[in-house]
Amino acid sequence: MARTKSSNAWLQEHVNDHYVHQAQKDGYRARAAYKLLEINDKDRLIKPGMWVADLGAAPGSWSQVAAQLVGRQGRVFALDILEMPFIPGVDFIQGDFREESVLAQYAALLDGREVDLVICDIAPNISGNAVTDQARSFYLCELALEFARDHLKPGGDFLVKVFQGSGYNEYIAEMRATFTQVLSRKPKASRDRSTEMYLLGKQKKG
């Protein structure tokens, strides 16, 4: 099947992408690793010994970064609907984040302990319908925020990918009700044309 102009452009951009080459060189599974590394450099989110929940983790580059930074004393708990090959120091559950049974299985891994940080680079399968995709994206973000409310310790932080558009301001308002401070981040590894933005909830209210 012939490629469309837009898929050709994406492929060309991907092949020439500095972060793609860097990820291959550094052993990360995806260029997204550099988004987390840049945000972490600025905000000092991940420290040795922390417990970190990674929602929407596959292919695993954020889990790789988190596992390196928490070290042997810390733990990373990853969840995704897709398969994710093993990463040392990461406990992984494969399942649909929207299903109660999967969330219960994931929560059981924590064994009643609250985590220090929740990170979420999740995105829905893109249908091509902007309104539907935006709604699906914010539904997943809502679930991630709900998870953070339930499983993040007081004073803990929450980093989530959102897409600017319908629902964005309402979601920020919800985050402000849960966290002392809400910051927006657009790392250099985010493509300029993308409407993606990372919201950082600092210090969950007690």
CA distances from 122 to 42, 98, 141, 179 (A): 21, 12, 8, 20
74 is in an annotated binding site: no
Q: What is the CA angle 46-184-205, rounded to 5? A: 65
121 is in an annotated binding site: yes
E-strand ranges in the chain read 51-55, 75-80, 90-94, 115-120, 152-163, 179-185, 196-204
Helix or strand run (H / E) with residue 124? none
96 is in an annotated binding site: yes
- CB 124 within 8 Å of CB 40: no
51 is in an annotated binding site: no
- CB 124 within 8 Å of CB 136: yes
206 is in an annotated binding site: no
Q: Collapsing DSSP states into helix, strand and coil, what is residue 45?
A: coil
**Annotated active-site residue in 5, 25, 35, 161:** 161
The answer to whether 161 is a known catalytic residue is yes
Phi, psi of 200 (to 5 degrees): -115, 115
Q: Mind telling me the catalytic residues?
A: 161
Binding residues for S-adenosyl-L-methionine: 60, 62, 80, 96, 121
Binding residues: 60, 62, 80, 96, 121
